[in-house]
Amino acid sequence: MIPTELLTRVQAGLAGSYRVERELGSGGMAIVFLAWDLKHDRPVALKLLRPELAAGVGIERFLREIQIAARLVHPNILPLLDSGTVELGGGLSAPYYCMPRLEGETLRERLARTGPLGEDEAVALVRDVADALDYAHGRGLVHRDIKPENIFLERGHAIVSDFGIAKAISAGGAGQTLTEQGFAIGTPAYMSPEQILGAEVDGRSDQYSLACVLFELVTGSSPFSAPSPQQVIAGHTSRQPPDLSRLRPGVAPSVTHAVQRALAKEPATRFPTASAFVEALVAPVPARQRLAVRRSLVVLAAALLVVLGVTGAWFARRRASAAPAATTLAVLPFKVSGNDSLGLGSGMVNLLSTKLDGAAALHTVDPRAILSHVGAGAAGLDAEGARAVAARFGAGYFVLGEIVAVAGNVRLDAALYDGRRAEAVARASAEGPAARVFEMVDELATRLLTAWGGGSVRLPAIAAITTHSLPALKAYLEGEAAFREGRHQAAADAFRAAVTADSLFALAWYRLSVAGEWLTRVDLAREGAERAAALSERLSEHDRLLLEALRRSRNGRPEEGEALYRSILATYPNDVEAWIQLGEVLFHFGPTAGRPVTESAPAWRRVLFFEPDNVSALLHLVRVVSVQGDTRELDSLVTVLTRLQPEGDRRLEALALRAMRSGDSAAQAAVLAQLQGASDVTLSLAAYVVACWGENLPGAVRVAQTLGAPARSRPAQTAGHLMAAWLETARGRPGAARAELAAAAAADPRAALESGTLLRLLAPGELTAAELAAAERAVAALDTAQGPSLAPSGLFIAAHDGAHGVLQDYLLGLLAARHDPAAAARYAAAVARAGIGGPAQGFMPLLAAGIRAEADWHAGRRPAALETLEREWTLGWYEPMAASPFFAVVHERLLRSEALAAAGRNEEAAKWFGSFEQFSPFSLALAPYALVRRGELLLAAGQAPAAAAAFERALWYWSDAEPVMAPLVERARAGLARARGGT
């Protein structure tokens, strides 16, 4: 079929949905057309499978694979927008799929235009691709065709296209057709040996291809020439890469060695993940692999990185080459003359950014990022200085302005600049009494866009998406400033003042919710989110998306929250709040699914690029690097935090973590002395942080015991001793745990019995009939009448506010499940219909399912137990999970792990057994036993190194175990010996 005829038929076949304009290009498998999506009024790239291949494709299977790929939502993955089939005549139809039409160029086009890239830029772009690959690999998708043509450059970042297409073509049946015609699924010059051989591939195959791309980026040529079709069919895999350092003298030794390993013929020799490959690109090279001359250079470079601050170095390099985007606008602070009582100099950044976002296809740079970067010198920016700021954030346009306030009147002047030339392309003014500031902002924005575009524009009134109240606006702006500085209580107070002045101020309610979350004030977080949701029509579309993502995460759907945050960031890559909340989801929910907290590190580092003094990002990164064991960066980050908050309570968390991680007894004694004078909230958070990320359980116990000291309030004493009891259980010290439970009972018998009963139910071994009856009598006799709310004391002290009645039913249900299924069913029904309110409400369905699954398990109906848990598995907000052994669903997590193993689903079971660390001090009690079970499953699957790591970790927990734990300790030691090849 000739090209013009094909274009005509495609135009006719898709006329109701797309206006197909012209052919953009073609490859071995598809033809690309420029088209216009009529429904959504946007340009798209429409890819049509070549007609000669389409005849041999199972279209339904092809589209099913495309549908799977369309679920990928990541800022470095070009999304699939639509797919379907088009009739081409003569009984022939072909599948197509659509992607956004990008304004940038492909990496191939960039190489053709400029030649090899600088090492830093090349590594930064490869890091983007690796982030995308790890995200997709974690969801079971391998790209199979990573090459410069499938990597787009936009705003200085790399975006991977055509995810899942090679798999779809192969699964659809066209793979054999291509092979017969002399083509391969993939591009031979970048294909891994196992892909050339037609073997099963995993993420390490994409890593191989990515290493080929990096080689080409820094040298200008591919490491391999493409094998002929005959060689591909024959399985030609004997290629050896040339020496990178010879072709590009001066390249870092770490790059040379990392590329060499990633290009290993055997997948097992490569890095475990694409991100591990990228990290190795900038990691020090072992001494035995370096020349003596290079050794001194690498050491000097490492020293310079420490001096310059490794926290933001990568992002600074990454953004240095960013090309300004024609659709991104940065509003800079206005110069002020006269009395600026409202704080409009910086406030105009918030107001105009909110007003202009979404207008004329513009997306505005996050005001927080702008204000954090320009700081106190903002008002003195000239056009050149403003252009540099805009370029830092990838903005193609920027706004500068001036406010003149005299005798109650205000004049606003603004100019819109083209960032490429720092020339004003439009100017506008508005003037009137200070009380009309909202109308003046509306007039200014409308006139500015009208002058620029030459036509009228209609924008929502700024008051409709903020407030009509000047006092409310002033309080809101003060809250934003406090939040940027990490003064979260002051921010919450200011946002509260804003909503007191205007109860319809939806944006202030939303920000109050975020501040409440950071303060672990569940009441504030819940109230703010509920009020903001009720007023969501008064939010901008951008803020509505942020609120919805927050609500999904809090309501037990973290995967949806993560996907929505990534979607927001695809449009607003400089949205500080979205980066923060993505980091929160990855950090707090990731471990519950067996994903390490280290996955959140890129998000926190991105926040620090925008806001180097962001306390939230610094604190989370402190925890991440503590887990990683990077004591140098840990010390650096804690030093920065101490400088930012010399008197702030939250710095004590970081000081405690550093001291307990260091092993320095003098530093530990000093920080414990400081913690004695801290508030209950601060001390409970410090215990939580040290327990989960300090790699020092004895130290965590000491911090928890400090919270339980007699001088503290009775609720604090209870919380401290209960946390210590669970941590002592994690250490294999049940006698010490019972002593802590007794100390807790002296302050609160009810709480101690609740926690102690659950601990006993989770312990290895069955209860005797007498023990079971005694436990049921004790729990049934509990006084569940609620006392005063403890919410102001912080979540770790008030986790069970309003929930003691349902905890009683839950425990009685678990006990009854072992001998009385009918009674267990009644208790499960009572838990399911409990209306306790608050964030813990979301856990009720899963707790009820836990009772039913326990009854099925003890009745020998193990498949039914697993089915119940999988069907009902919905978590609640992460903060109650961190603060409560009940809401951490440790029983349900353990039972699901065992049920998966019983069903022979060992890979999934091993993952679930690995989900007890890094998110709750209470779940740690089950971590060592779960690690032993994980090790046993991995060993049975032939994964000896991973099994050995699990057994070693379990033995680390039990390094000071009591004698009664000897059988389990010996079980772990025996497993470790087998994993290491011993007897």
CA distance between the termini of the chain? 68
Q: 876: which 2 tokens?
A: 């609640």
Q: Are 413 and 440 in contact (CB under 8 A)?
A: no
User: Is 145 considered catalytic here?
Assistant: yes
The helices-and-strands tally (H runs, E runs) of the chain is 49, 14
Catalytic residue among 128, 131, 134, 145: 145
Hey, which bits of 27-181 come out as E strands?
30-37, 42-49, 82-89, 92-100, 105-106, 151-154, 157-160
Which residues, in sequence order, are bridge partners of residue 644?
none
| Distance separating alpha carbons of residues 350 and 445, to the nearest angstrom | 13
- Residue pointed to by tokens 């011993």: 982
Q: Which letter does DSSP use for residue 572 in this model?
A: -
Q: Which residues contact 381 (CB under 8 A, 6 or more apart)?
A: 332, 333, 374, 389, 400
Which residues, in sequence order, are bridge partners of residue 42?
37
- Alpha helix ranges (H) inside 89-118: 107-114
CA atoms within 13 Å, Cβ hemisphere of 555: 11
Q: 718: which 2 tokens?
A: 């209870």
- Crossing angle of helices 119-137 and 310-320, rounded to 10°: 100
3-class secondary structure, 568: helix
Q: Which residues contact 82 (CB under 8 A, 6 or more apart)?
A: 17, 37, 44, 97, 98
Q: Are 969 and 953 in contact (CB under 8 A)?
A: no
Q: 621: which 2 tokens?
A: 């990164």
Q: Which letter does DSSP use for residue 189 in this model?
A: G
- Alpha helix ranges (H) inside 748-889: 749-762, 769-780, 795-798, 804-816, 821-832, 844-858, 862-872, 878-883
CA 377 to chain centre: 33
Q: Are 842 and 875 in contact (CB under 8 A)?
A: yes
Strand bridging mode 409-418 / 335-338: unpaired
| Distance (Å) of CA 212 to CA 184, 209, 260, 265, 282 | 17, 5, 10, 13, 17
3-class secondary structure, 239: coil
| Distance separating alpha carbons of residues 522 and 528, to the nearest angstrom | 10
| Distance separating alpha carbons of residues 73 and 128, to the nearest angstrom | 14
CA 396 to chain centre: 28
Neighbours of 808 (CB within 10 A): 23
CA 336 to chain centre: 39
CA atoms within 13 Å, Cβ hemisphere of 444: 30
| Distance separating alpha carbons of residues 487 and 510, to the nearest angstrom | 17
Dihedral angle sign, alpha carbons of residues 432, 417, 393, 450: positive
Q: 353: which 2 tokens?
A: 């950014």
Catalytic residues: 145
